[in-house]
Chain A
Amino acid sequence: MTKAGRFPWHIVVFVLPGFFIYTLFSAWPLLDTLILSFFDQNDTGARWFSGLDNYRLVLLDPDLSAGFWNALWNNFKFFLVHVLVQNPIGLMLAALLSLKDLRGARSYRTLIFMPTLLSVVIIGFIWQLILSPLWGVSETLLEAIGMANYFDAWLGKESSALLTLALISVWQFVGIPMMLIYASLLAIPEELLDAAYVDGASPLRIFWQIKLPLILPTLGLVTILTFIGNFNAFDLIYAVKGALAGPNFSTDILGSFFYRTFFGFQSSLGSPTLGSTVASLMFLVILAGVMVYFWLVQRRLHRYQL
């Protein structure tokens, strides 16, 4: 490839700028965070090695650990809502959009994807206004279909706040699974479907028996992307419920817990070292998810070449 004996400077030039920025501002901070999670510090900023003390505090300490486990559990619920609501809706929309000869498919696709582009912060505020009992928009709407009695302060109740936030997030991000699944549906070879049509199979049967098995890898990808996104979420909770993730921490997820641990809240002061510990634990959770995904993909799903 390169002239023998000459040092391939061009490779260095191509690699270095990106490598340098990525290493300094992403890889190193991540590694440093992992290291920092094994340290403790006092008010003056002096730090010393403390082994697994921080992990013991976050995971086992009777006072502190409750917050972490609560956030982790809430985060799982948050993820579960996405898997059970967002991905099926995305699948359904994609299946409908990919129907042959559907008029206006492009307009539907464009419009439904719109919320995904907006900032989570903006979305959070918009929904907070819509659900606001003071403004009464959702109450009026429910009234119109005779369900006014079902209106409630969903965002304010311990029992429903997390679910409501998860559904807001689903509303915003349903476009992503929709697009990814849509793309893989379009990529299914025509001949395969034509053959089925000729055999007289109904569209529904074609979907279940031919299309769905073929797009399983995409569904797996969508699920793991959702997992990473959910366990890294923060903006929506912060915009709607603030860093305290109320009521009574019922909407606290790992992202908001990390923020509070790191920066503190009200009279409590933050700790960079404990914050690092929480971040490292989040890293482990995400890593575990990714490993499960790869394990399942390797075992069950054979990625098909398009």
Chain B
Amino acid sequence: MKAQMTKTALALLAALGTQAVNAGQLTIESWRVDDKDLWEQEVIPAFNKANPGIEVSFSPTAPTEYNASLNTRLAGGTAGDLITCRPFDVSLELYNKGHLADIKDLESMSNFSDVAKGAWQTDDGSASYCMPMASVIHGYFYNTEIFEELGLDVPETEADFFAVMDKIKAESKYTPLALGTNDGWETHQIVYTGIGPNYWKGEEGRKALISGDAKMTDANFVAPLAQMAKLGDYLSRGYEAQTYGDSQNLFALGRAAIYPAGSWDIAHFNTNADFKLGAFKPPVPASGDQCYISDHTDIGLGINPKSENRADAEVFLSWLASKEFAELYTNKVTGFFSLSDHQISIDDPVAAEMIGWRQQCESTIRLNAQVLNRGRDDLETTFWNAGQGVINGTMTAEDAAAKVQSILDK
């Protein structure tokens, strides 16, 4: 009996042996869970047409968990070959710890502008560790059918914006704004840094905050928070427990009129909503003001230096810099705007509208993405909690700003 048991045990152990890594296999780490289908059905097949024999799998983790779980996998040596890069400091830290390879000398890097590359370079520009893929633009989506039904015009100023929402609230069963505070990140990355640049004048305010000439408690940084404090009245019941996914559903099901947007959601609503989608810029404080938009260099792709398929990974990156990819990505993964210099046409009307804002307004990136987060582990989290607290009404705009400033003062 014992011999038999030992045999079974050995057989079982043998069956569990580690799987070998096949050559020509690439795994992409990403937080873009919504794009899984698009990658698997459009992007990867297109790549394989040009480069047969390299098997690519797209393996995303939910956005809120991406950084932590990627860190774990990098430290444990289990991360994929290609790593989707958050912009600026987060990826810089990965590079400094040796988790991203220097790809400055890849020939295809010449297809990108300095601004695009800047999001994934060391401060002195001596090394580039991710290839720029796309930027995202923030604003509001709206349900054109609801706007038509109620005879609403697209708002231009903050006052218009609230007038429109008041009207929706008073005259219809629709929820004016599809936004929840359960997850927290969207209150900062979409709402605060999306509507705020109009108040802090884009790059001017962002740079002043970095240099210390401006403080979070200044009026032009508190004003967008004060605006957010008023949003609670226009959200659906129980918005405190509403997740980002819930908000997407609420808007896609046609139950809400307006949706604070990142352009990446265009693709989602094109497939999931059965009404015509529209978009408008974040409202300016007063009519005729210069407008600013959050046009965030959001997504890049780097190589894990521990990858066993480095050569294949470089082949993939080079293809990423091609015009073919730029066109495919911008049009299929709608709402991500390729950062390469190639001239491409945009088919989707909403995407075209949003990219058109670049001509009318000044672009800036998210307020704290560059430099500010450095060495301040909790700044991003504090911003999320501030946005959450202000909208939920558990924190005043002034207190929230002061809380963030106290972290900046460290």
A residues lining the B interface (CB < 8 Å)? 43, 63, 131-134, 139, 151-158, 242-244, 246-249, 260, 263-270
Contact = CB atoms under 8 A, between A and B. Distances in A.
13 contacts: A132-B242, A134-B242, A242-B183, A244-B184, A246-B385, A247-B182, A247-B392, A248-B394, A263-B69, A264-B67, A264-B377, A269-B71, A270-B68
Interface stretch (B90-98, B150-158, B293-301, B307-315): B90-98
A261 to B, nearest CB: 11
Interface stretch (B11-19, B107-115, B116-124, B232-240): B232-240
Contact of B241 (A131, A265, A266, A267): A131
Contact of B385 (A131, A247, A269): A247
B65 interface: yes
Contacts of A264: 67-68, 71, 377
B64 A267 contact: no
Interface in B57-115: 64-65, 67-69, 71-72, 89-90, 93, 96-97
Contact of A267 (B183, B250, B379, B388): B379
Given A134-B246, A156-B182, A269 B93 contact: yes
Interface in B196-252: 236-242, 246, 249-250
A150 B26 CA distance: 52
B262 interface: no
Contacts of B69: 263
B378 interface: yes
Given A247-B184, A267-B90, A269-B377, A156 B240 contact: yes
Contacts, number: 114
A43 B241 contact: no
A247 B240 contact: yes
Contacts of A267: 67, 89-90, 373, 377, 379-381
A265 B68 contact: yes
Contact of A265 (B67, B89, B240, B249): B67
A122 B250 CA distance: 23
A155 B182 CA distance: 8
Contacts of A131: 241
A151 B384 CA distance: 26
Give the one of A132, A158, A247, A264 with max B CB within 10 A. Answer: A247
B81 to A, nearest CB: 22
Given A132-B246, A266-B64, A270-B68, 10 more contacts: A133-B242, A133-B246, A134-B242, A153-B237, A156-B240, A156-B242, A247-B181, A247-B389, A248-B389, A248-B394
Contacts of B278: none
Contacts of B237: 133, 139, 151, 153
Q: Which 8 residue pairs spanning A and B have beta carbons closest together?
A: A133-B238, A156-B240, A156-B241, A268-B377, A153-B238, A153-B241, A153-B240, A267-B380
Give the one of A131, A132, A246, A270 with max B CB within 10 A. Answer: A246
Give the one of B96, B250, B388 with max A CB within 10 A. Answer: B388
Contacts of A153: 237-242
Given A264-B67, A264-B71, A151 B388 contact: no
A134 B249 contact: yes
Contacts of A157: 240-241, 392
Given A243-B68, A264-B68, A270-B71, A156 B238 contact: yes
B385 A266 contact: no
A104 to B, nearest CB: 37
B385 A133 contact: no
Given A244-B64, A248-B388, A268 B381 contact: yes
A153 B181 CA distance: 11
A289 B377 CA distance: 33
A155 B184 CA distance: 13
Interface in B267-311: none
A151 B71 contact: no
B381 A266 contact: yes
A31 B242 CA distance: 42
Contacts of A156: 180-182, 238-242, 392
Contacts of B72: 263, 270
Contacts of B96: 43
A128 to B, nearest CB: 8
Contacts of B373: 267
A156 B242 CA distance: 7
B188 to A, nearest CB: 10
Nearest to A131: B241
B250 A134 contact: yes
Give the one of A154, A244, A265, A266 with max B CB within 10 A. Answer: A266
